[in-house]
Structure 1
């Protein structure tokens, strides 16, 4: 039995545990089945995703049925991209469920499990905190799974459970977050095989992907890069995983979509140390990675692959730590790599082409970025353009290359900006979003203003869905959009005119002038820049990827 003096409510226990993980803002929309829970708090799914990518974990509260179903697309995106989000659903009280009452937000058939069943396949684990549950054990178990597995979890909380009392003294013991140890003999065998390959290799490269970020091995990855000085590359989803100011950084590898020098270096290596791979179509240049298993070592969160041998259940974090401790640098051969830099193409000079083009803009923005910036891009022209930039140190890149939900980036901006604000960090939060994508989730700008957040928003006005035009239907009506007065949005959402700024740029000269404006670059205000670009212009990487995607679609439709 618990001591009455230490008792707290189930809802309070849950929030205090989330607080231990650094969660300070909770995202969501009020609904009558979660209002009791919200009473204990006194914020959309995309926002929770963006918040988690900065803070390490986030929480999303929705109401039963209509609320949780609206969040499913966002939670599924977090699941596919390995982002830890705690999805808390306020559900009807247990008495109503047992009586199968025909409550609102239900299907009218008395089935109260149908919606939670929909979430099971996009949740690492789930629980229902009804009378039969051990509230404390279940909350701790589910939160640990969310953190360790880096994927969403689902907690159903009936309205009558919120204020049930539990033993608050359990909070004195932190939830154990350490990964389970690998069997030492197997781990040593894996490391021995990797070292043998590295010592024999004449030309080894490191390739970092998304799961090196999501599964928290960046410290080990950075140590490996710094200790070995091996040529290091990232995938699109791995952008920002390594310090791109290092001389060993060689750029972004995207299979056949890569720059020629990058493609030749990676595919010409006789050993690739591939850390945290997540080979989706857009992340691999339409599945054109040319890295054979015969010359690769794959580091994953729950298994290792050394050439043709696979080691299930072996965690990459501990393998990398042991590898770093045992590597003999005198036996490692290092081949210099090509230096990638933010050099503006001469054929795109201002005098020759006054219009702002992707070939010119992204290297120019690379010159403008600062250390520790948070850069958010929509999965459209922006994410493919960003591949042509070289980041300053400690830049965090947020995008949704695998799930690719249109409008994701605006919600993610709100979550990321809130997380940075909570950290009281001197970091600019910058969004690059197309006009079509912005129209899907523009209302999130209102939430950003409400919380006094100060991101810089670049709206790429190229008159429609350019990424779709490049894949299919270049002039099709379904890729058109109705034009908005984008620079009026901050006024529409009632931003303080003294703490907000809007701009329009139509030429390279105007863009240069804005980027050189020190007041604009501070990130002290919420700022929106409408960038006008030619309708059919697109980044080089998107042009190539779209062609491959179109061909793949045709093959699959045969």
Structure 2
């Protein structure tokens, strides 16, 4: 069955089919006809941001809350401004959908030299630029609109990667024949290969005395954590998560050993393992502690989205959950190891705050239903290994690591899950990259708790090189005055500046008492010494210095 509908309206219908609620972006003269259709749609909300890069970060943060992240830009200048954010979504396995208005179809076919282009008559260059950072990129035409739109959205959902569609400005109101049915997003999986792979995994487990399962971020994006936890509990297999998958496992689960690298229990289990089982593992400098963890010298069964591999045996077309289910329950589980339940230490009331005392206090402040957004740098590095409440959603751009990501991502995350409390931990250097998006957060009446670590610069970079060099310094802003500058009323914000443990405790207490209907936007400025860093930060910095610059690199005398 088919009916007739305008191309832009059909695109919006398909976005609703996959659960879209918000579209982030910046208006431009090639996308405003489509914007009129968004404005007329009662089920979709337009969120105008300060620039396209921030819109991409916000769409990324929105997608991590379980709803599709949709970004709208104009052609050329708008697209390329967003490219870094789209690339980050690709690296971090986020199904971001990038829609770009483009010049009229007749103009691009005739090679007219238009503004926002390179004035050479070519209009495939932006597609080529995005081809490396998306799973699919194509231009919508009247004859291909249905197939191209459906393929793009299904590809984003299936691959957990960004896709990109160009909608020529003169096509959004063109009427075409479209199907009346909704987009089917349930993917059939599994085959006889899953049973064959399960037999190989069972045989490997039968011959192992000390197996270990390692879970990487893509497994989390595929929703496999419950199946993996059940598998480990039934088969008595301890498991660990990589740093990109931090805070996705229940810290109290009987078989969970903590992060690898990071947790001593996990590192010892890795050294002792006579069988490694990995799920969606990508061996990077982050997941292997600078390539010091050796996955290749022992038997290793690799589970991935489309295959199971053991030595030279590769079974394609498998479904990971089906493979695990086929193995479950064949042997009794040994007694579980005791979980680590040590509570975080409280900061000393009268002592100046340090990185260590601050992050310990933050761990005690967080609640199970919170969303914690941790910026790249010391915020992400020092929160990844904390013991945090189970049920907390953790957002960090661990592998792409683009500074400035976290503030716009908080905007997107807060709109995706408005019922949850959102806490952003961000350093001053990163905050200054995208600070203007604070105005959007305030304009929309959102009430995150922003904890801003003010130590005069890039501490994560000081740990690598230039510990006292001016290139790691940033300007000293009056951060607590920014909400007022962005139009916030006095009675709608909670502003605190903290230098001691007592001041931080009071600020956290005040923030906790603004929950529910009375919750206010909160900004807590935490003053830290520019040279203060945790041993973990200093250690990673030294390792990075040697890896990046070699043994003849300039010294970086910390302390």
- Structure 2 distance, partners of 1:16, 1:221, is 35
Q: 1:508 to 1:85 in 2, by over 3 A?
A: same
The answer to whether the 8 A contact 2:67-2:416 is kept is: no
Paired residue secondary structure (2:122): coil
Residue 407 of structure 1 and its aligned partner are, at CA, apart by 0.4
The aligned residue for residue 147 of structure 1 is: 157
- Structure 2 distance, partners of 1:294, 1:171, is 54
Match of 1:268 among 254, 272, 290: 272
The aligned residue for residue 120 of structure 1 is: 131
Paired residue secondary structure (1:220): helix
The answer to whether the 8 A contact 2:214-2:242 is kept is: yes
Q: 1:557 to 1:130 in 2, by over 3 A?
A: farther
The aligned residue for residue 476 of structure 2 is: 483
- Structure 2 distance, partners of 1:313, 1:400, is 30
- Structure 2 distance, partners of 1:245, 1:208, is 17
The aligned residue for residue 473 of structure 1 is: 466
- Structure 1 distance, partners of 2:409, 2:57, is 5
- Structure 1 distance, partners of 2:295, 2:119, is 53
Per-residue CA deviation, residues 163-206 of structure 1 (Å, 9 max, x unaligned), is 111334x2424324305x3441x322211111122233222333
The aligned residue for residue 78 of structure 2 is: 67
Per-residue CA deviation, residues 356-414 of structure 1 (Å, 9 max, x unaligned), is 22222223322221112111111100111113311212211111111111101111111
- Structure 2 distance, partners of 1:119, 1:11, is 22
Paired residue secondary structure (1:277): coil
- Structure 1 distance, partners of 2:325, 2:498, is 49
Per-residue CA deviation, residues 9-39 of structure 1 (Å, 9 max, x unaligned), is 1111111111122110001100000001111
The aligned residue for residue 428 of structure 1 is: 421
The aligned residue for residue 298 of structure 1 is: 302
Q: 1:384 to 1:7 in 2, by over 3 A?
A: same
Per-residue CA deviation, residues 106-149 of structure 1 (Å, 9 max, x unaligned), is 11111122112211111101221124x42111111111001000
Paired residue secondary structure (2:59): helix
The aligned residue for residue 339 of structure 1 is: 340
Q: How does 1:251-290 map to 2 (within 5 A)?
A: 251-254=258-261, 258-290=262-294
The answer to whether the 8 A contact 2:104-2:169 is kept is: yes
Residue 332 of structure 1 and its aligned partner are, at CA, apart by 4.1
The answer to whether the 8 A contact 1:267-1:291 is kept is: no
1:82 aligns to 2:88 (yes or no): no
User: Which 4+ residue blocks in structure 1 deviate beyond 4 angstroms?
Assistant: 520-523
- Determine which structure has the larger helix proportion and give its number: 1
The aligned residue for residue 25 of structure 1 is: 22
The answer to whether the 8 A contact 1:515-1:521 is kept is: no
Match of 1:544 among 529, 539, 545: 539
Bigger shift: residues 374-383 or 321-330: 321-330
- Structure 2 distance, partners of 1:407, 1:457, is 14
Match of 2:406 among 406, 409, 414: 409
The aligned residue for residue 183 of structure 2 is: 174
Alpha-carbon RMSD across the aligned residues, in angstroms, is: 2.3
Match of 2:513 among 509, 516, 519: 519
The aligned residue for residue 198 of structure 1 is: 205
Per-residue CA deviation, residues 447-473 of structure 1 (Å, 9 max, x unaligned), is 111222111111011110011111111
- Structure 2 distance, partners of 1:340, 1:552, is 35
Residue 279 of structure 1 and its aligned partner are, at CA, apart by 2.9
The answer to whether the 8 A contact 1:80-1:402 is kept is: yes
Q: 1:78 to 1:171 in 2, by over 3 A?
A: farther
Paired residue secondary structure (1:86): strand
- Structure 1 distance, partners of 2:249, 2:308, is 21
- Structure 2 distance, partners of 1:117, 1:532, is 45
Bigger shift: residues 388-397 or 275-284: 275-284
Unaligned 5+ segments in structure 2 are 40-46, 48-54, 554-559
- Structure 1 distance, partners of 2:180, 2:284, is 40
The answer to whether the 8 A contact 1:190-1:319 is kept is: no
- Structure 1 distance, partners of 2:176, 2:313, is 44
- Structure 2 distance, partners of 1:309, 1:444, is 50
- Structure 2 distance, partners of 1:442, 1:478, is 20
Q: 1:293 to 1:78 in 2, by over 3 A?
A: farther
The answer to whether the 8 A contact 1:379-1:399 is kept is: yes
Q: 1:442 to 1:537 in 2, by over 3 A?
A: same
Per-residue CA deviation, residues 55-110 of structure 1 (Å, 9 max, x unaligned), is 24211111000000100111011111111111111001111112222211111111
Q: How does 1:358-377 map to 2 (within 5 A)?
A: 358-377=355-374
- Structure 2 distance, partners of 1:541, 1:276, is 26
Q: 1:556 to 1:98 in 2, by over 3 A?
A: farther
Match of 1:501 among 491, 494, 502: 494
The answer to whether the 8 A contact 2:215-2:240 is kept is: yes
- Structure 2 distance, partners of 1:420, 1:153, is 23
